[in-house]
Amino acid sequence: MRKYLLLIAILSLPMLLMAQLERKKANPDEKVELTFEAPRLINIFTVEPLEKKGFHYSIMHTFGEVNGGFQTLFGLDNGANVRFSFEYGILDNWSIFAGRSSLDRVVDLGTRYHLIRQTVDGRVPLSVSFAGSIGANTSDYDFVTEGPYTFTDRLSYSAQMMIARKFSDKLSLQVTPMYAIFNRVGAETRIASNETFYFSTAVMGRYKLTPRTALTTQYVPSFNEDIQSNFAIGVDLETGGHVFQLYFTTSEALNEPYLLATQNGDFFAREYRFGFNINRIFSFDRKAKRAAKQ
């Protein structure tokens, strides 16, 4: 009896292999998934999309510089810049978001659109996405003597193109040209210079250490002589529905316009800060959930 079962198994093996090949051929445009663990890496948007009716909620924090030592509990006593943000997937490749940062009390609205997605077969080698936002500084500037702040004065704008590739299950890299425009700047704001236009090209990456842990980094060079470049390094911890991001960064900013326009510390002089983000992704599409279970 065992001989017959073994013979049947051997004869069935080619058919199983052919069926596997047919499945692969049936999905030549299968998209690469999880280029990054969350829609943001440290404090820059990634190419990772939300599915239709998906919802991404994040809480982001940065504290004071660690060079205060134990006297300031390595910056934790110096207060935090906090950002809350919400993002909703209108379509599988289009989402809208809103956020609020305590730095200059900026409220922002924006959108992300995913132009192309990298495919498993390599025919499309890159993922390319776009993000744009408009923000409003809601701080109280009644004390300013150079003229009152109008609503238009308070506005800022940003745009960025995210270009990424997942090289392997471990390594993903992204290059992000980005710019920001402020209608009005001054000493009363946290903007580091008198310029209203800022541009940079950020470089960022992720390297998985374990199935649920990844080393992350970002570098945002400054082309403004008054502002130092930003550097950050951290760890992503994936725990099912949550992605926790722990990092050290030279900037207190948590949104892209202020990341370009506010001052950075010198990393080698310990002028960097501890920060952490909590990311949670939900899905409100019950039909999609039922189909996935089946």
Query: What is the structure's pLDDT at 76?
Result: 79
Alpha carbon dihedral 112, 113, 114, 115, in 10-degree steps, equals: -140
pLDDT band at residue 65, thresholds of 50, 70 and 90?
confident
| Pairing of β 171-182 and β 155-166 | antiparallel
Mean local confidence (pLDDT), 262-283: 91
Tell me the domains of the chain and their CATH numbers: 2-293 (2.40.160.40)
Q: Is residue 26 packed enough to be buried (19+ CB in 10 Å), middle (13-18) or exposed (0-12)? A: exposed
List CB contacts of 66: < 8 A, sequence separation 6 or more: 74, 75, 248, 270, 272, 273, 274
Mean local confidence (pLDDT), 20-32: 61
In angstroms, the CA 81 to CA 99 distance is 13
Q: For residues 16 and 213, which has the higher predicted lDDT (pLDDT)? A: 213
pLDDT band at residue 28, thresholds of 50, 70 and 90?
low
In angstroms, the CA 262 to CA 189 distance is 10
Query: What is the structure's pLDDT at 11?
Result: 40
Query: What is the structure's pLDDT at 22?
Result: 44
Cα four-point dihedral sign 291, 98, 42, 273: negative
Query: What is the structure's pLDDT at 46?
Result: 97
In angstroms, the CA 259 to CA 198 distance is 10
What is the rounded end-to-end Cα distance, in angstroms, of the chain?
Answer: 35
Q: For residues 23 and 112, which has the higher predicted lDDT (pLDDT)? A: 112
Query: What is the structure's pLDDT at 292?
Result: 41
Residue 135 has pLDDT above 70, yes or no: yes
Name the pTM for this structure. Answer: 0.84
Residue 19 token pair: 């069926």
Q: For residues 126 and 19, which has the higher predicted lDDT (pLDDT)? A: 126
Please give the share of the chain, as a percent, with pLDDT higher than 70. 86
Query: What is the structure's pLDDT at 288?
Result: 46
